Amino acid sequence: MAFAIKAEIPDPRAKAFSLVAQKTMYGGKHIAEGDTVFVFASENEGGQGLIARGVVSSAKAMAKKRGIARQTPRVSVAIRRTALAKRSLGRSELKRFSDWNDGQPQTELNFKFYRQERTRSSASRTRPPSSSANSSSSATLPVPPSAANSP
């Protein structure tokens, strides 16, 4: 399965990313070794959007804390970079994709990453976009299949 993750990435050209205790959404808690990941450097943290594609080299679900009724699942992942992005795909490129019902992978990414203006990662059962560091507000998303063919 393909996933997308948006987090604070201190070195966008690193050959590997280590993301600790990332919040998950849309099935991101199911990320596993061998899954494809599209890495987005959070623009809220000074990044530029899509920076790379990689493969999960390890994934570990974090235990929920006792006594807290509602918790977002968290996962720590290590990602080995397999490709750098060939073109920009960030907030400014995705902004025009705002018809939430058009079914395009760019619209799904715009909705999941930028509509609420928070850093997050997720997994998606849709197509991947065509075109690390800790962050307590990051999340992991699955990516649409049609988007999996880029960077």
Euclidean distance between CA atoms 69 and 140, whole angstroms: 21
Structural domain of residue 134, as residue ranges? 2-147
Which of 27-36, 43-52, 77-86, 118-127 has the least mean pLDDT? 118-127
Into how many domains does the chain fold? 1
DSSP letter string, 81-122: EEEE-SS--SHHHHTT---TTS--HHHHHIIIIITT----EE
CATH code of the domain in which 93 resides: 3.10.590
Is the overall model pTM greater than 0.85, yes or no? no
Per-residue pLDDT tens digits for 63-118: 888 998 888 899 999 999 999 999 989 989 998 998 988 989 889 888 888 776 54
